[in-house]
Amino acid sequence: MKDYIADRVCEIAKHMLDTKCTVRSAASKFGVSKSTVHKDISERLKFISPTLFSETKKLLEINKSERHIRGGNATKIKYQNRIHK
């Protein structure tokens, strides 16, 4: 694996753990796709840093369990904004 990829993977993982952000927001911050962030965190990281991988995996599981709530809130806000315009 190229050094710049390994560096990016670790940076993304540390950022996600520090900010508790989602894959989508990490992708936006680092200028890569959601697919790239997900692959970095769920596949590449375990070979680079197993400890960081286990911590980040827990965050991904939390985000996955909460995504329906975030989606519902986003839809609610969307329709509230339409009514108030």
| 8-state DSSP, 42 | I
Which residues touch 26 (CB under 8 Å, ≥6 apart)? 12, 15, 16, 37
Classify residue 84 as exposed, middle or buried by CB count within 10 Å of its CB (0-12, 13-18, 19+): exposed
Give the pair of three-digit tokens for residue 82: 């339409």
pLDDT digits (tens, 9 = 90+) for 4-45: 999 999 999 999 999 999 999 999 999 999 999 999 999 999
Over the Cα atoms of the chain, what is R_g? 15
pLDDT at 82 over 70: yes
Task: Quote the pTM value.
Answer: 0.76
Alpha helices in the chain (DSSP H): 3-19, 23-30, 34-39, 45-48, 50-83
